Amino acid sequence: MCGIVAYLGKKTARPILLEGLKRLEYRGYDSAGIAIVTDGKLYLERRVGRVGNLEEAIDGRKEFDGSLGLCHTRWATHGGVTDFNAHPHRDDRHGIVVVHNGIIENYSALKQYLQEKGHTFASQTDTEVLAMLIGELYEGDIEKAVQAALREVTGAYAIAVICEKEPNVLVAARKGSPLMVGIGSDNEYIVASDGAAIIAHTARVIMLDDYNVVKITRDGFHTTDIHNTPLSPKVQQLEIDLEQIELGAFPHFMLKEIFEQPSSVRACIGGRMNIREGKVVLGGLSSFAKELTKASQVILTAQGTALHAAMIGRYMLEDLAKIPSHTEYASEFRYRNPVIEENTVVVAVSQSGETADTLAALYEAKERGALAIGVVNVVGSSIARETDAGVYLRVGPEIGVASTKAFIGQVGALALISFYMARKRYMSADQCIDMMKEMEAIPAKIEKILESAPRIKKITEKYIERENWLFLGRGYNYPTALEGALKLKEISYIHAEGMPAAEMKHGPIALINEGMPAVFIANRGRQYEKVMSNIQEVRSRGGHVIAVATEGDTEIAKHVQDVMYIPDVCEPLSPMLAVVPLQLMAYYAAVARGHDVDKPRNLAKSVTVE
């Protein structure tokens, strides 16, 4: 959450900073601010709302034409959405300015200490406390002041810092929240919380690790830890290109990413299936093949959409690999006393690889001796670096706040892991070949579903005035129902509840009234007849049923108001198809209700604080 961009070079900083900030606006869009040093003097501006408000406020103002600066787009944590609480924050003595992602947990005690030292605060934020603390410790060297301040801080941070008294220095640091330094040509540097803000200028980056501090000048940079011990970070290449983060012909990133799902699945599975020999090739897991074969249980931990993918992964691991498996909210797992037996495998699932709760759950599992596996999208992310092994999604950058192609990629990656483990335990080569052939056909089947998008749009528009929806499924598609409900809630602000279809009779059926939309995932499978019975229960109470059904099932149309068809597929992979109409429904509902699809209220793309 929140986006940081900072620049030091020979060019005018303002257009580079604002361009980068717009690319990161999906990370937070409550407010935005910028600080630039021009001719040795610091200038700062902040505005509530989108980056465009900030851009308008500084348009044509020559004082913002300097070549050193930083900016921030905020997702509010400490303090309400006001100009005073917007970043950057400055100290009250030395012209020190800070932008910050994360949470300073001991800010209250630090604030009291600083007030006793005579500092006056203008905001409610923890970030202003950090700025004041750096100012209190400043003795003419901003790098040393930042190091000293961070030694006193408890919590998570990614920060960029500039000082009016040192107009040729940019300092950045990180612990628990992502931050990288882009290295351009001719001593040009861009610090950002996401590669999307850097890739237009350079693909060469260093990824800061926890407790890293980097000092950048016009002559180069050096990296230390917070105790000033020199470090030698490795320069890496960003694995994204500019086209991937541009809208192209689509009106919203969410729709673009829904339509990218066929190519995303192809990328996810590409080179990972040897169908002729019945082998799954997962290089990231090969060093731990024996441990995975001996696994006594698998615990999958995640949050939000990733948790729904993990639930489907659990079903696959139990069904195909015959391994006892569980899913856990990462936010609950770390605060319980979880039972980690010998030969336990813990799988952390996260699009960003930076989800704070999932990362903390991973640390807890490793501390207790579990083998840690990561299923993440962002190469070099914290979870990717902290796991023993893993599988990257390879679906490309996901900009839309409501996750779509990452979910498909997570289910696809978990399916490959399930095939891999099943083949090493009980699954025959022929069975594995059959499953891989089914997987190979998924992209073309998604393309076929996408052809029906206009029809799904018409169905959705019939129900957008209804404020309460149910999403119901059984077996593999119970988690799909949860995901469908979440998508509708996230971007259309319609209240929706997902649940197992059989659970409806145990209380929620009381909610059914005349015309209430109930979306059933009713594809052909082992529990098809049971789902049909549940449909009748809703119909008899006046509910309007929208069914996701298998192509060729003409009988179901006699029992429901509307049908959205998906191609036939083996049951374990059916969520990869069934979720697509639900994603489109959520998208079209949000558009019809006039909402900002890519920037839903109160949400940010990556939750890097608890």
Q: How far apart are CA 210 and CA 159, in angstroms?
A: 12
Length of the chain measured in residues: 610
Q: Within its chain, how far is the Cα of 184 from the centroid? A: 27
pLDDT of residue 78: 64
pLDDT tens, residue by residue, 262-290: 999 999 999 999 999 999 999 989 999 99
Backbone angles phi, psi at 591, to 5 degrees: -65, -45
Residue whose token pair is 């348009």: 59
Q: How far apart are CA 491 and CA 411, in angstroms?
A: 22
Cα distances (Å, whole numbers) of residue 42 to 4, 143, 169: 18, 18, 13
Torsion of CA 489, 493, 494, 496, to 10 degrees: 20
Kindly state the helix (H) or strand (E) to which residue 484 belongs, with its residue range: helix 478-492
Q: How far apart are CA 568 and CA 412, in angstroms?
A: 17
| Helix, strand, coil percentages, rounded to 5, for the chain | 40, 25, 35
Q: How far apart are CA 457 and CA 586, in angstroms?
A: 10
Structure tokens at 575: 């969520």
Q: β-strand 180-183 against 495-500: which pairing, if any? A: unpaired
pLDDT tens, residue by residue, 398-454: 988 899 999 999 999 999 999 999 999 889 999 999 999 999 999 999 999 999 999
3-state secondary structure of 272: coil
**In the chain, what are the domains?**
3-244 (3.60.20.10), 249-440 (3.40.50.10490), 449-597 (3.40.50.10490)
424 included as an active-site residue: no
Kindly state the helix (H) or strand (E) to which residue 13 belongs, with its residue range: helix 13-23
Q: Within its chain, how far is the Cα of 527 from the centroid? A: 33
2 included as an active-site residue: yes
Q: Within its chain, how far is the Cα of 586 from the centroid? A: 18
Of 2, 71, 163, 432, catalytic = 2
Strand order in the sheet with 212-217: 89-90, 96-101, 157-163, 166-175, 212-217, 220-225, 230-231
pLDDT of residue 441: 98
Write the DSSP string, 407-454.
HHHHHHHHHHHHHHHHHHHT--HHHHHHHHHHHHTHHHHHHHHHTTHH
pLDDT of residue 513: 86
Q: How far apart are CA 422 and CA 414, in angstroms?
A: 12
Structure tokens at 170: 């940019």
Q: From 427, 389, 433, select the one nearest 276 (Cα to Cα).
A: 433
Q: How far apart are CA 225 and CA 174, in angstroms?
A: 10
Contact 72, 2 (CB under 8 A): yes
Structure tokens at 71: 């900016």
pLDDT of residue 295: 94
Q: Which DSSP letter does residue 234 get?
A: P
Q: How far apart are CA 61 and CA 44, in angstroms?
A: 12
Kindly state the helix (H) or strand (E) to which residue 19 belongs, with its residue range: helix 13-23
Those residues with Cβ within 8 angstroms of residue 493's Cβ, 6 or more apart along the chain or in another chain: 593, 595, 600, 601
pLDDT of residue 28: 66
Average pLDDT for runs of 10 along the chain of length 610: 89 94 79 93 91 90 95 78 85 94 91 94 91 96 97 93 96 92 93 90 93 96 96 89 82 96 97 94 92 94 97 97 95 88 95 90 92 92 91 92 96 97 92 97 98 97 95 96 97 95 84 91 90 88 94 92 96 98 98 92 65
